[in-house]
């Protein structure tokens, strides 16, 4: 199978998650929930991560830019950080770690929106390999949903080819059901947020009750109290995605619109799962 290196013009509408019929049962607005003191801790930890290496920094910076896109320049130096990213890309290429490279590109898509033209060809070149890997993953696994999110960020054409079928969505819903267990609730917020991004229309049947949401907020607060700012950034990003009224990927990065009024339901309804 040959891989085309011709890049079609990206239609931003393809990267817009529009789900006006979704009525969020929860709210989390980073501007209200994350204090200035929290931000200073988060920013310091991100800078410490930057000194440790690009990948560690890129992972945390990705979470923070999703939360506060307008603060991207507080974290990213367009010249030196771009250079560090390119060095990391070359390092990964030398080791032939294709999926690791894909993950780096997905994060850089948000961290360096003005550099997308330079990165897009790298994503297209990996299209065939990533497509084959998706065929190997079981939908009821964390890898399946996380790579799907990356595909949606990087390659709208490929996403349409690998968009989850009803059966695949059932597998993802079954995994999410397993994550309801209190010992797995950390993964619950990750899986739920990824499913929200992957297909908001299929996800709209899910309602998070107040007790479940409070449990997720408690885990966020525990990260704050313990000074686990890396975990705090990840959990906060997931809560923001789950409570979003609308999520848009634009030329400038990402825009999350939050509902103004919290709507809580009495019970949680997860996507229907089937045995087969």
* 194 within some domain: yes
Measured between alpha carbons, how far apart are the two ends of the chain, in Å?
A: 32
DSSP code per residue over 132-173: HHHHHS-TTSHHHHHHHHHHHHH-HHHHHHHPPPHHHHHHHH
Contact 204, 19 (CB under 8 A): yes
Q: What whole-number distance in Å separates Cα of residue 164 and Cα of residue 142?
A: 14
pLDDT value at position 206?
67
* 60 within some domain: yes
Residue holding tokens 């959990």? 235
pLDDT value at position 251?
67
Q: What whole-number distance in Å separates Cα of residue 49 and Cα of residue 171?
A: 35
The tokens describing 8, both together, are 């079609």
pLDDT value at position 67?
95
Q: What whole-number distance in Å separates Cα of residue 113 and Cα of residue 70?
A: 12
List the domain range (segments joined by +) for residue 88.
16-257
* 44 within some domain: yes
The tokens describing 14, both together, are 């393809």
* 245 within some domain: yes
Residue 219 has phi, psi (to 5 degrees) of -65, -35
pLDDT value at position 7?
44
pLDDT value at position 174?
87
Q: Which residues pair with 209 in a beta bridge?
A: 265
* 8 within some domain: no
Q: What is the pLDDT along the chain (276 residues), one digit of tens a residue?
A: 444 444 444 444 444 444 444 444 568 999 999 999 999 999 999 999 999 889 999 999 999 999 999 999 999 999 999 999 999 999 998 887 789 999 999 999 999 989 988 888 999 999 999 999 999 998 888 899 999 999 999 998 999 999 999 899 989 988 888 887 766 566 889 999 999 999 888 887 666 778 878 889 999 999 999 999 999 999 999 999 998 888 876 766 567 888 765 444 444 444 444 333
Helices of type H across the chain:
30-33, 36-52, 54-67, 72-75, 80-95, 98-111, 116-125, 127-136, 142-154, 156-162, 166-178, 185-198, 200-203, 210-226, 229-243
* 36 within some domain: yes
* 82 within some domain: yes
Task: Name the 3-class secondary structure at 4.
Answer: coil
Residue 200 has phi, psi (to 5 degrees) of -65, -30
pLDDT value at position 73?
94
Does pTM top 0.85 for this prediction? no
* 2 within some domain: no
Residue holding tokens 């890309």? 89
Which strands form 246-250's sheet, in the order they lie side by side? 16-17, 246-250, 253-257
Query: Looking at the 3D structure of the chain, how many domains does it have?
Result: 1
pLDDT value at position 254?
67
pLDDT value at position 261?
52
């Amino acid at each position: 199978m040959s891989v085309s290196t011709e890049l079609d013009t990206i239609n931003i509408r393809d990267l817009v998650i529009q789900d006006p019929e979704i009525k969020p049962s929860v709210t989390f607005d980073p501007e209200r929930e994350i204090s200035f003191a929290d931000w200073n801790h988060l920013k310091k930890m991100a800078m410490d991560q930057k000194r440790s290496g690009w990948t560690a920094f890129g992972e945390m910076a990705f979470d923070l830019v999703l939360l506060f896109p307008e603060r991207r320049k507080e974290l990213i130096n367009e010249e030196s950080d771009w250079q560090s990213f390119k060095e990391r890309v070359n390092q990964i290429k030398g080791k032939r770690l294709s999926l690791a490279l894909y993950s780096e590109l997905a994060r850089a898509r948000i961290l360096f929106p003005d550099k997308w033209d330079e990165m897009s060809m790298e994503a297209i070149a990996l299209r065939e390999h990533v497509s084959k890997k998706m065929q190997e993953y079981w939908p009821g696994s964390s890898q399946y949903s996380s790579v799907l999110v990356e595909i949606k960020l990087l390659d709208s054409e490929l996403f349409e080819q690998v968009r989850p079928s009803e059966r695949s969505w059932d597998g993802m819903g079954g995994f999410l059901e397993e994550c309801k267990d209190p010992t797995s609730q950390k993964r619950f917020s990750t899986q739920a947020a990824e499913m929200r991004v992957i297909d908001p229309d299929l996800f709209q049947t899910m309602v998070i009750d107040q007790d479940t949401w409070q449990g997720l907020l408690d885990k966020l607060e525990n990260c704050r109290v313990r000074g686990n700012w890396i975990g705090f950034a990840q959990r906060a990003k997931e809560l923001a995605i789950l409570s979003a009224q609308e999520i848009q990927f634009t030329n400038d990065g990402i825009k999350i619109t939050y509902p103004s009024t919290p709507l809580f339901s009495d019970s949680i309804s997860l996507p229907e799962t089937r045995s087969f």
